[in-house]
Structure 1
């Protein structure tokens, strides 16, 4: 029997799940916390945890394939693919596109090469789902030469958006390839995607995961002129840090804990109510815009930790949106590891 092991590494967690390759039944899973103090030697920490995972799993001879989630594939990694040792250098070349994520994902592959050398490695890219976005959605209104130099919308959370849309299609008893659907991924990062007959036609995140919705610590859409003014006062690195880690809900409310935000909303705290209004209104605006793009919508799908959590968020977003009358509102529990395993099985 062949088994597929999925590794999903983040800067603070190391998740794994083992699947039977025939029916994708889950056989084992686990989640290790990674302390910020070890980030200077993340490869060493990844090696240590992977050895522990192998000890937990026991019969590693059955593991023939290992799948890895990668946040950014750049232009050269536009689909799920088998990774050989000579691909590592090419993957390292695009680390700068998602420095907090890709280098961590790469550490997982290196651990497998070291401690499970007989296994085949496959990488599944969050950006791959959006590789064929219509050019009118993909390109920025900058001089065209910058598009030719690789400055364009990549889109993110593709694994989650595709999985949520496929699961929602099953729930409403329609074929994924025949429906018009809007997927809303709300978690630490947040994004919305418009999907027409199985193909994304637009998505809120762009060249980086900073564009689009207001997020827990990221600003989302902002007037670029503000950035110019801030840079003149603070410098590039400080502004970059502010937009990525000190803005969004944290910037307005003071904390990035969403459950604490909801509790403060219940207590009628002014800044909490403001942050909640801003957060939900931004989602509402994207749903409205994407409904216009699609012409009609079969379902709006919520996923991600916030998306499937307290229904107050979904209610606030959908409230007073008459254009959603008759549209099914669907909630899909995220399961990235299963989504990655599906992609690999389809590729094999």
Structure 2
């Protein structure tokens, strides 16, 4: 029987990050994954954004997350020999003058200062920004499909393309056994599908469907624009535009309503006429309290969870993956705010 330190279920951003962190620490892992073009990590734009939401709030734990994620992904892309991480300014147009005035004060605060380039920056031609806007640094995006595909190939024989059948998982005194493989433990990291596991069915997952468009415009913008919707430049006049939020219809079907909503919001941001070339839907692994689910099962010590990363998986995964790695290697406790023990 083949032996590993850990079996990891799922190779989205969560599974990729924790598998890399464990391998870098000298652990052996087997990643089991069934590729799905509609998986959240495959549909997501991968935007790294320090100021988010309608109220333009500082991303939770930004001062911890952002220094760590830039270093982590930079090192990973170098090892893989790819260019997946893109440092790119995000521009948020102000809706009214009072908003601009508020940010003149905020930008001098220690909390916001590291992430603000300019408070009264003019937009590029073709953008609705009558009151100028907020230009953000430490921002950009991660090419998730490139990263995931390249990392999967790099895993080689330590990657298994297959559906995970929980009924075939055997828990033993030494760890787990699964289809000819034994390991110290197993890590569930397959997004919202974790909620279907009998071991994690009590956790308050709140999955959310999101739809995104790929469009063409008559010009290329240098920034990522974000207000109401985001418009992420992909090059060659193409952009990713999103995203919708639907917590009722949890399926992968694209809808005319979502397309209409995104185009209407885009019209308020971009003056140019778009041509839609693609529309996709995914389901975000969100949680009731909007915090990740990380840690060790209270009743089955050989079972672990790394999930619930929601809409900010790219930003959250490296920092909190390090905490899970330290739990596995050193027994270091997970922070209470993200530890799954808060629900048991």
Q: TM-score, normalised on structure 1?
A: 0.23
Please identify which structure carries the higher strand content.
Answer: 2
Please identify which structure carries the higher helix content.
Answer: 1
* Higher RCO (C-alpha under 8 Å, 6+ residues apart): 2
